[in-house]
Structure 1
Amino acid sequence: MARVWIEDRENHEDYRESMAKWQEAKRAGSKRQPPGRWRVRWYGPDGKGKAKTFGKLPQAEAEVQALTARLDKGSYRDPQSAKAALRVVAEEWHGSLRKQGRRTKDDYRELLDLYVIPKWGDWQTGAIQWRDVSEWVNDLCTLPGKRGKSLSPARIAKTYYVLSGVMKHAVKSHRIAASPCHDHDLPRNDDQDDHVYLTHDQLETLAENAGRYQTFVRTLGYTGIRWGEAIAIKVGRTQLADRRIRILQAYSDVDGHLELGPVKNHEKRSVPLPRSFADELLPLVEGRHRDELLFTAPEGGPMRYPNFRRRDWDKAVQAAGLDGLNLTPHKLRHTAASLAIAAGADPKVVQTMLGHKSAAMTLDVYGHLWPDRLDEVADVLDAGRAAALARLRAPVAPAG
């Protein structure tokens, strides 16, 4: 049996009844179209029968050709599935997230509930067009957020990412053929203006004033690892002979409770240590069980960010004369990146240190710190051209 065929409904009882009602309505002045005589029928990949009617035979024939091509190529989408409300697809998407930690999933949940579902929840998934999404992004950029304040560029980008994830799920689940979330201009994130790049002298002064957490501050400033990664380092993950620390897990603060989970982007990695700094870690490692935390709170257990800021960090920043820089522990990542770049590290090395998803992301954030090598390239080109001209203009020795 053919997978797609045309059925003539002229002699079908239901068609005749529909035509009689249409003719009566037409005599009464109705301008609606007559019922479709030609019914295209087919079996979808799920084996279930589908149908769609057309008023003219050429229309039905064109639909048969289109359906047959999509079924052959595997690009077929059930027209009915595209009618699913976006809130249904959004719940499917959020429930399918497996790699993300609880904090990330909670953040996505909040954005769904605040901005995505209130706008798109009742829309049919297949009805959302590129222009609709573009207008929505404009609204996110210009209108106050749900808490009365303008959304930051980073928050707008993440909100857009959530809708994009939902639509990508709709494509993968064969509800729609293509996502409308592509090639949209998002507001520029000017967070680089808030970066703080400490010199070696400033970093060492800060560490010297951090009391018992001198080594912890140096770890943040020289490796660029995140706060949650730093407080989750276990003794057994230090490889001091090789000048490495293995970053495998991170703590996240979820509703006031610290939860141990995977590192961001699932980028497990080894970060390098300067030799002198690796030696400073020895007293924290020797004689301790490999499963103990390398850095702990004064009372034991993992360090808590608010306590560290209030009790140790803010005082160290002030004592080091850095209190006008709006410096936070997280911003020591920028210092680590800048010091590594100044030492000659290439983008791939810095990407590995920081746990970025790609070197492209590293270049987007820190590309301005790499020295301009255009003159260096021009000088090499000059040398090559001069050598070529010298060869071309060299006198040719006479034959014989």
Structure 2
Amino acid sequence: MARVWIEDRENHAEYQESMEKWQAAKRAGSKRKPPGRWRVRWYGPDNKGKALTFAKLPQAEAEVHAITARLDKGSYRDPKSGKAATKIVAEEWFTSKRKIGRTTRHDYRELLDNYVIPKWGDWQVSAIQWEDVSAWLTELETQPGKSGKTLGPARIIKTYRVLSMVMKHAVFSKRISASPCHDHELPRPDDEDEHVYLTYDQLERLALVAGEYRLLILTLGYCGIRWAEASAIKTGRLLVPQRRIRIVQNYTDVKGVLALGPVKNHEKRSVPLPRSFADELGDLGRGKGQGDLLFTAPGGGPLRYNNFRNRVFDPAVKEAGLTGMGITPHKLRHTAASLAIAAGADVKVIQLMLGHKDAAMTLNVYGHLFPDRLDEVADALDVGRKVALALADASVTPSE
């Protein structure tokens, strides 16, 4: 049973002294509330003494019941912990993120420093209410961001999610009982230009005009791997006889510094390699060490995305007659997905190939590309029903 009790401070010297000061201040015109006579005392889960004062006994009694119930149920939180500044909770949350990659960590840090902490940093974490967050979302939509331009829907959603994770940390650390970041209407992402699907002819034409990087374009367009993964493929992970490429690392570029790290979602995988250019990739890696990069910059070393876009990819797009489609090296994975789906690959295969966390994500992104197979289901049911009817007819003996 939790130990919570009420203390009457009427005869306490400190209380009488506080009352005298308050009365003098009141006579001088102060509107400050009088000191609380009734003190609620208890021991928290850490066995440290806690206390709150109240002006009226019924208020203190209500608090005793509330604290006792929370202590007995294990849902107790220190009332004073909610007074922590949001910037302190935000830093605690950021420090606790041990599994995120360099790019995600940099993104979180940037959103914290530019939008979350400037707005909420000095607020007590318990003071942030649902309506405050809703008003903030409207501000993000209508007011200029750090760059001077209004934020796009995707950036607003990411910013909101960072605050949401900070508040979730506040709940877990028992500073607040519930997060104000729930059930908010977020802007709709403008992703109409996100998916670009090239045909076989368009992909081959693009690869052809890319010159020495033809095989890289084919790998991106048929294997569905991310740019950061393709640029980190090492020769030893190219398995030509098995027609597989092992994807275990990727390059991240944070403020111009490249570093090898784990793949996104930590989804190490093997992707299928079309036989039609597998041997050519093998030739490309011939003479290199097992730990050497398969695709490299002209002077050696890892490829950098912006340099590749500006010097190779964008000119190739123009020469191939694909200008205006919004195609990028990364979006070639959409082409790989669409071609694989059209070839009959099921959702689980596509998920593994692309390195999605689960099949639900794959369906959310590419579900519209899977063929409508409702007629196939109906036809299969008809076959089964015809067999059942034929067996039933054969088992019935005609009456004489």
TM-score by length of 2: 0.89
Q: Residues 157-181 of structure 1: CA distance to partner in whole angstroms, max 9, x if unpaired?
A: 1111111121122222222222211
Matched, 1:242 2:242: yes
Two-structure CA RMSD over aligned residues (Å): 3.1
Q: Secondary structure at the match of 1:94?
A: helix
Following the alignment from structure 1 to structure 2, what is the Cα–Cα distance between the partners of residues 121 and 289? 51
Task: Kindly report which structure 2 residues correspond to 1:344-359, keeping only aligned pairs within 5 A, or say none.
Answer: 344-359=344-359
- Greater shift after overlay, 238-247 or 225-234? 238-247
Please state how far the C-alpha of 1:207 moved relative to its aligned partner: 1.2
Cα 1:324–1:18, aligned 2, differ >3 Å: closer, same or farther? closer
Please state how far the C-alpha of 1:84 moved relative to its aligned partner: 0.9
8 Å CA contact retained: 2:2, 2:72: no
8 Å CA contact retained: 1:3, 1:43: yes
Following the alignment from structure 1 to structure 2, what is the Cα–Cα distance between the partners of residues 283 and 29? 91
Task: Give the structure 2 partner of residue 79 of structure 1.
Answer: 79
| Alignment length (residue pairs) | 400
Following the alignment from structure 1 to structure 2, what is the Cα–Cα distance between the partners of residues 99 and 213? 33
Task: Give the structure 2 partner of residue 183 of structure 1.
Answer: 183
Cα 1:385–1:129, aligned 2, differ >3 Å: closer, same or farther? farther
Please state how far the C-alpha of 1:351 moved relative to its aligned partner: 2.4
Task: Kindly report which structure 2 residues correspond to 1:121-160, keeping only aligned pairs within 5 A, or say none.
Answer: 121-160=121-160
Task: Give the structure 2 partner of residue 171 of structure 1.
Answer: 171
One-letter amino acid matched to 1:225 = I
One-letter amino acid matched to 1:218 = L
Q: Secondary structure at the match of 1:7?
A: strand
One-letter amino acid matched to 1:156 = I
Q: Residues 129-173 of structure 1: CA distance to partner in whole angstroms, max 9, x if unpaired?
A: 122111111221222222221211111111111111211222222
Task: Give the structure 2 partner of residue 99 of structure 1.
Answer: 99
- Greater shift after overlay, 349-358 or 372-381? 372-381
8 Å CA contact retained: 1:333, 1:354: yes
Please state how far the C-alpha of 1:251 moved relative to its aligned partner: 0.9
Task: Give the structure 2 partner of residue 325 of structure 1.
Answer: 325
One-letter amino acid matched to 1:279 = D
Could you list the runs of 5+ residues in structure 1 that have no partner in the other structure?
none
Following the alignment from structure 2 to structure 1, what is the Cα–Cα distance between the partners of residues 345 and 313? 29
Task: Kindly report which structure 2 residues correspond to 1:248-397, keeping only aligned pairs within 5 A, or say none.
Answer: 248-377=248-377
Following the alignment from structure 2 to structure 1, what is the Cα–Cα distance between the partners of residues 48 and 278? 65
Cα 1:222–1:188, aligned 2, differ >3 Å: closer, same or farther? same
Structure 1 stretches of 4+ with a deviation exceeding 6 A read 23-32, 381-400
8 Å CA contact retained: 1:240, 1:279: yes
8 Å CA contact retained: 2:227, 2:330: yes
- Greater shift after overlay, 75-84 or 341-350? 341-350
- Greater shift after overlay, 212-221 or 237-246? 237-246
Task: Give the structure 1 partner of residue 48 of structure 2.
Answer: 48
8 Å CA contact retained: 1:192, 1:365: no
- Greater shift after overlay, 295-304 or 34-43? 34-43
Could you list the runs of 5+ residues in structure 2 that have no partner in the other structure?
none
- Greater shift after overlay, 85-94 or 306-315? 306-315
Please state how far the C-alpha of 1:249 moved relative to its aligned partner: 1.2
Following the alignment from structure 2 to structure 1, what is the Cα–Cα distance between the partners of residues 395 and 88? 80
